[in-house]
A = this chain, B = another copy of it.
Amino acid sequence: MKILGYFKLILLSIILMLWFNKYNLIVLIGYKSRYVFVHFFDIFSCLKISPTHIKKINFIFKNMITFITGNEHKVKEAENIFKDYDINLKHIDLGYTEPQGTLEEVAISGAKYACHELDCPVIVEDAGLFIKALNGFPGVYSHYVQDTIGNQGILKLLADSTDRYAEFRSVIGYCAPNSEPKTFLGKVSGEIAVEERGDLGFAFDPIFYVPGEGKTFGELTTDEKNQFSHRKNSLEKFIKWYSSKE
């Protein structure tokens, strides 16, 4: 029994790339003139693959961008947007330490780290809720604030406030080997509601009211929300730039 030659394996990998839009593990085992072909579909989503493995196979992928996230909601939203463009999107949950700073600084730091580790083009995303009357609080620390004082805390802070303007902001950080990272900002404007409404969505969604819709994010389905979300805006800005640079 012997492993099929390197050249033939590459050739077959490229052919299979035309059929599948996912990372695949292709194993060809030959015995005399007979070959057994084993194809593990989208194996990288099922297994924890080390950055070294990704590096080794990355050279066979063109127009492939790896989305660094552990959040399935973000992956689905991004896949929905990318499917209309000639860009292949992968996702990997590669943990990294975020610095204290702006959304842009967090996104750049993550993109640089992941690009260095994986040696391929990557995007990362960081988002936050910015409330005008609270000087941008909770901003880049939205996740921490949600886990500690939560929506009720935000409502208390704004109890006497007539200015209830707020923005969800999303920043995409992009980095490719041997180039400087770039960021793309997307926003959606709204108001902080006087009470929580709706049980769809998560985190600050039930208190983020969108006047144009007459509903909070908590009262909109994911599909409805994704029509105009901050993340859609930032991803589309990125895609527009990425497509024009080709």
Which chain B residue lies CB-closest to A105?
B97
Given contacts A99-B100, A100-B98, is CB(A145)–CB(B137) below 8 Å? yes
| Residues A153 and B141 in contact, CB atoms below 8 Å apart | no
Q: How far is the CA of A150 from the CA of B98 in the complex (A)?
A: 24
Q: Give the shortest distance, in Å, between A77 (CB) and chain B (any CB).
A: 23
A157 CB within 8 Å of chain B:
yes
- The complex places the Cα of A137 from the Cα of B148 at a distance, in Å, of 6
Give the shortest distance, in Å, between A149 (CB) and chain B (any CB): 5
CB of A240 within 8 Å of the partner chain? no
Q: How far is the CA of A141 from the CA of B100 in the complex (A)?
A: 9
In the complex, which of the residues B99, B137, B144, B147 contacts A99, with contact meaning CB atoms closer than 8 Å? B99
Alpha-carbon distance between A157 and B158 when the two chains are bound, in angstroms: 10
- Chain B residues with Cβ under 8 A from A147's Cβ? 135
In the assembled complex, the Cα of A137 lies from the Cα of B98 at a distance in Å of 19
A98 to chain B: closest residue by CB: B100
- CB contacts (< 8 Å) of A135 on chain B: these are 147-149
Verify A136–B148 contact, CB threshold 8 A: yes
In contact, B148 and A139 (Cβ under 8 angstroms): yes
